[in-house]
Structure formats: C-alpha cells, structure tokens
Structure 1
Amino acid sequence: MKPHCDVRILLVTGWICNIPGAWTSSNITMSTVLGDIFDGYDKKLSPKYDHAASDRQVVVTVNIFINSMFSVSEANMDYSMSMFLRERWVDERLRYVDDQNFTRLELDYSLFDQVWMPDMFILNEKFSNFHEVTIPNKMVHVYPDGTVQYSARVTGTFFCKMNLRKYPFDTQSCHFEVESYGHSTSTMKFVWSEDAVTIADSIEFPQFELIETQSYSCEKDYFGIVFPCIGVNIILKRNYAYYIIQIYIPSVLIVILSWVNFWLDPTSVPARISLGLLTVLTMTTQSAGARANLPRVSLLTSTWRRV
C-alpha cells in the first residue's frame, strides 16, 4: 500500500502520488536511462579513445548566434559582443535506446560536469564571461545516437586589428577564432556548421553597417604539432555621414572663411592676423577632436588628408 501523499515521504521514498506534477513512469524511465548511460562513463577520456589511431578524431561542429554587438573601439582595437556558442559532436558511449520517444535527453545543469567536452578556447579574446543569472546559461542535450549538443551564452571583448588608412571611409574585417588548447588534429577537428554564423535582426550600429561574415579554417602549428582552429571574419563598413556633417562640412566652411583675407584692406594688419590665426586654431582643434578616438598610429588617415 502506498503511503499518504506527504511531501517528505515523497522525497524519501519516491512513491507515486496522485497530485499534480507527481513522479511519473516516464520520469522514472528517463532517470533509468541517465543512470545507464553514465554508468562507467569516464569524462576524462575522449569519445574515441579506444578506437584505432587512424579513427580517433572527434569532429566538433561549431555554430555561433550573435545576439548583440554593442561596441567597436578604434582606440583599443577591439569589439564586444554577446553570443550563443554552440558545439555538436558524437560520443558513442552516451547512446541509448529511445523506447519512450524522448527524442533527446535535456540534461540538468548539475550533470554538465559529468560529460566530456572539447577544450575549446577563443584565440583573440581579451576577456569574456559566462552568464549565470538566474542559473548558468548553458545547455546540454543528448540524442539517442550519442550526439551531444552543447550551447552556452558568452559575452566578451575580442581583439580586432584595424587598418585606419582610409578612416572614416574604411571597411574593417574583425575576426573571431576558436582553437583546441590540448588536442591536436589527430584527435579533434573543428568544422563550421552549414550556417556558421547567424545574427539577430535587431543588431544595429550607430557607426557601422554589418556587410557579411566569412568562415575559414586556421589550423595552427606549434612545435611540430598541428592544432585544430576555425575562424570567422565579420566585415563592418563605417557609416561616414556623421564625419561629413561634423568634420568635413565645417572644415570647408572654415577654409572659405579664410578667403575673406583677400578682400580685406592690406593695411588692416590686426584683422588679417586675427582671421588667419582663428582659422588655423579652429582647424587644429577639429583635427585633434577627430583623432581623439583613434590609436596613436604612424600613418595618415583621411581626416588628416582633408587638411
């Protein structure tokens, strides 16, 4: 006979009670499946550790969804964005028989540390962090064939080497690269999914227009060991309307104002000196303001060429 439906008894004994949200047979079966696939599972070993040397490579498919890009800094040569970093690979040790039509097992975050995961890191990262409000923003799904789907929300700032020779009429290519820290290409391979990068429709920049993204492979050779690496170029074209209105048009007007000197009486020395000095100081101030947001690079930009 089942005990009375007391919450304390339910937690201790696991009896099924006729109350909403009670423990069901499907839950018990899912718990059994989880117990079976993790029985003897060792996350310290890669999925193909026991395969032949020619068949130990784990293929990790990567995809990123850019949720927001909220800063592009020429002075620091970096950009900041928030994204969902997704990885998918096959771990045959996690296969299970789908008798209950689960489609997939959605693991609780307390089980994430029990699953082997690729040792991926972001190569051009300055600093970044995972989100943990209200719980860690991570997801792990396991499919019947052993496919593991991992997703994490990451926000960070990443280095971007910029060519400012044509600033502010420039187009910048900012890269994002991920690499394995400890696994060589003999045991791991990174590949982009069919849609390598997807971008939220709500992303807008006050100074840039996102043109396209270009995915590529960038395997690295360190001391004779080749490590898997993939990357994506984010092409940004600067909107120069602000600079036309705030810099170029005022500069043209100041130059035109300096021509008044040709109509002044040659004997009016104070007026001619004052007008010439005023235009020079104004142009110097404008040039300094235009360079305030730029790094100290030893090259001429278009804001200098206008003078």
Structure 2
Amino acid sequence: VQLHLGFYIESVSNFRSQEMAFEVDLYMYTSWKDPRLAHNLSDELVLINDKSARDMMWLPDLYFANARHCKFQEVTVPNFNLFVARSGLISYSLRATCSISCSLDLVNYPMDKQHCVIRVISYGYTRDQLRVRWFRKHAVRKNREIGLPEFTINRIVPNYCDGSYHYAITENTHKTGNFSCLMASIFLERSLGYNLVQSYIPTGLIVMISWVSFFIDRRAVPARVTLSFTTLVSLTTLGNGLRYDLPQVSYSKAIDIWYG
C-alpha cells in the first residue's frame, strides 16, 4: 500500500529542557487507496465521521516513534474525518497532542541551536507492505502565530528515516525488517533575552561591584573580605539557580565557563 502523509502543526509549547521534551498539537493527514471501498454513489466524496464506522475499516498502524505519550482530541467530538472517493481513494485526518522527546546539545547554551524531530513509522507493516511518503507539496506546515518563550523556530523540514528496525516475535526471538519512516525536522534557535536579563547583566554588575574592594583602604580587611565573599556567594547562587532548570550533563556548557 502506498500511503502519503502530511502535518499541520497547530502549536508547540511547554519546552522542558530538564526533561528534554516538548508538547506539540498537530493535525495528521493521510491518503491511500483501498479498491474495496470504491463506490458509484452520486456524491464524489463520502464523509465518514462516525467512530464505529471508522473502526470497521482498514487504517494504517502509524505511531509517533519518539513520543513519550500521545492523546487524540475528543472534545467536543472525536477530532477526525474520513473521505472516501469513488475510486476508493481515502483521505483521513485527525488531531493529536503529543509529548515528544528531543535530545538537546547544550555545549553552546544559552546561545545554542537545537534540532528536534517528530518521527512517524508503521508499527507492524514492513516497507514492502506499507510504503509511507510525504505529500509532494506542503508536506509540513505550521501555524504562523506559534511563539515559544525561549526559542525561535527557524524552519521545519520533511525528511525520511527509512531503515531496519527490530520487532519481537516471541519472548525470546525477534526479527529485523525494513520500515518506512517519516521525520519532520524542527530547527530551533534559543532567544538570548531571558539569559541576558537573568544571568549576563546581573553577573556583570556583581563583578563590577566587586571592583570597589580595590578602592577600599587595604587596612580595612573585614570590609574587603566581606565584599569579596558576598560577590562569590551571589555568583554561586545565580549559577545554581540556572543549573536547576537544566539537565545534568557530563560536559561544560558556555554558561558554565561564563560563571567559572
């Protein structure tokens, strides 16, 4: 079966750096041909929006491979529609909200750029049984009003991730098969504004204040020590507050060097 797919991304939100995940609300459009459903009714397209009727039809077993969890929207009714053309061509769309995992590279944080993906693959059908491809035009679109507090979405690019994947047959055996895989690549760039106000400007001012100790009489040891100690405590407190919101990684980040 040849299946074509497209996304319309309604919103991207709740980007959690510590958990390396974000929320996405999207519409998924799929199209394939099922000759068994060809008809000669007066209407060119037959709309099916009854869940029980849909459940009796063959539907592709696609799933979001890197999603931690997904839910299909059902308010106020199940958010899907399905059209059947006279030729048996089926157009099926649905709305889902998913929590997508995204491995972050924080070496250049907070001036970093991230690459996150939404990966879709068939759960059981190999590539010779179900071949999934992007729509030729406008495969991935997004709401122009999407805005993230920390990031700017530079672009979203449709890609392929076809390859060999393992799947279980029994408890002790597995099999390898070639599967069709689609991948929507989201390229993000972190906005510097938050860290500029919360990190760079405060630490710069603290360091400038510490220079006052150079103008204090060298015999006033308590005053000079107190000022230096206060500066050190302030920098440590700011640094710890920043690290609390970030995952524990085994490499140094740009912000660590700044605080160091």
CA distance in 1, matches of 2:147, 2:248: 28
Q: Deviations over 1:2-38 (max 9, x none)?
A: xxxxxxxxxxxxxxxxxxxxxxxxxxxxxxxxxxxxx
Q: Deviations over 1:173-229 (max 9, x none)?
A: 111101111111111111111212110122111111110012211123134411111
- 2:8/2:26 contact within 8 Å kept: yes
C-alpha displacement at 1:162, in angstroms? 0.5
Equivalent residues in 2 for 1:258-273, closer than 5 Å: 258-273=210-225
CA distance in 1, matches of 2:92, 2:36: 16
C-alpha displacement at 1:97, in angstroms? 2.1
Give structure 1 stretches of 5+ with no counterpart. Answer: 1-57
C-alpha displacement at 1:156, in angstroms? 1.3
CA distance in 1, matches of 2:82, 2:146: 27
> AA paired with 1:138?
F
Match of 1:182 among 108, 119, 124: 124
CA distance in 1, matches of 2:197, 2:37: 61
> Per the alignment, in what secondary structure is the counterpart of residue 138 of structure 2?
strand
> Per the alignment, in what secondary structure is the counterpart of residue 19 of structure 2?
coil
Q: Deviations over 1:71-123 (max 9, x none)?
A: 1111000110111111110111111225x2x2300013131012111111110
CA distance in 2, matches of 1:224, 1:156: 27
Quick check: 1:63 aligned with 2:6? yes
CA distance in 2, matches of 1:185, 1:120: 13
User: TM-score scaled to structure 2, two decimals?
Assistant: 0.92
Quick check: 1:289 aligned with 2:241? yes
Match of 2:232 among 275, 280, 288: 280
Match of 1:255 among 193, 202, 207: 207
Match of 1:165 among 107, 114, 127: 107
Aligned partner of 2:87 in structure 1 is: 145
Match of 1:131 among 73, 81, 97: 73
- 1:171/1:235 contact within 8 Å kept: yes
CA distance in 2, matches of 1:157, 1:237: 20
> Per the alignment, in what secondary structure is the counterpart of residue 195 of structure 1?
coil
Residue-pair matches, total:
248
User: TM-score scaled to structure 1, two decimals?
Assistant: 0.79
Aligned partner of 1:83 in structure 2 is: 26
Equivalent residues in 2 for 1:1-307, closer than 5 Å: 58-98=1-41, 100=42, 102-109=43-50, 110-193=52-135, 194-221=137-164, 222=166, 223-307=175-259
> AA paired with 1:142?
V
C-alpha displacement at 1:259, in angstroms? 1.1
Taking only the aligned residue pairs, the percentage that are identical comes to 31
Greater Rg by CA: 1
CA distance in 1, matches of 2:213, 2:153: 46
> AA paired with 1:291?
R
- 1:290/1:303 contact within 8 Å kept: no
- State the Cα RMSD in Å: 1.1
> AA paired with 2:247?
P
C-alpha displacement at 1:284, in angstroms? 0.3
CA distance in 2, matches of 1:62, 1:73: 28
> AA paired with 2:257?
R
- 1:63/1:197 contact within 8 Å kept: yes
